[in-house]
Structure 1
């Protein structure tokens, strides 16, 4: 199975690019908030049950996908590159899917902070990610992540199958087409 991981800082456009890529490839999209929002219905982000439950649900879902006949999977992820546990999560998810991490197509999105602050308020984002509807809290989280973590690479990504795109001035469809061309993905 073909696996594309789209990562980058909050509100960079991972989900919308993933949607456009799914439409152009026939791959299925699992954006990270699909599980976050499910668990958030019962627990807060800082509750001790929250993150272990999110990881367990994702791993079980990926394990079930491994045995499916899906042509490909797109997964979006906010990856704090300075945290080992984020890298370990990606490695565990790939293992659950049954693919080598070296075969994953990694797409890194980057956009300036002003653009991301505007995207943080879009109708689609707020509809798909209910936990982002508290805009003051969501914006503070975005700024906090930018300040505390390395959210984009500096030409030092640890895996070779990698494409970095500044999508500040690109539509999701334009970004998806760059991904398709770069990796030679066909529908």
Structure 2
């Protein structure tokens, strides 16, 4: 993928900010793409628990993510992960010029995408 001629590539990841291995993985992945001349942009999305539970069983997610189709198990995984790990960064923790954090609880995907496009001139 790092050798692709495509104009862009999006990668999503549930980052446990309390896990050294997750930091190392993100750094290694970023380096792989940056070393090939690709711009690496970090977009951190956050939403409240109630909204995350609603989104977790949305038709789009159920259609495109097989792991979400067992809704009860998927909700338990989401709750356990939120209880066990820190899933959002502390202010100033990510020190990159190409970074934005967006609170999406009351935003549509289109609104969020527009914010990202504006911030990074895409």
* TM-score (structure 2 length as normaliser): 0.88
Unaligned runs of 5+ in 2: none
Which residue in the other structure is 1:171 paired with? Answer: 108
Counterpart of 1:139?
75
> Would you say 1:181 and 2:118 are equivalent positions?
yes
Measured in 1, the distance between the counterparts of 2:35 and 2:56 equals 32
CA contact (8 A) 2:16 2:22 kept: yes
How many residues are treated as equivalent by the alignment? 119
The CA deviation at 1:94 is 2.3
* 1:144-182 C-alpha deviation (Å, 9 max, x unpaired): 111111101220323322111111111101100000111
Q: Cα distance, 1:97 vs. partner?
A: 2.6
Name the residue aligned to 2:16: 80
CA–CA distance in 2 between the matches of 1:91 and 1:154? 17
Q: Give runs of ≥4 in structure 1 deviating > 6 Å.
A: none
* 5+ long unaligned stretches in structure 1: 1-64
Which residue of 27, 38, 42 maps to 1:106? Answer: 42
Q: RMSD across aligned C-alpha pairs, in angstroms?
A: 1.6
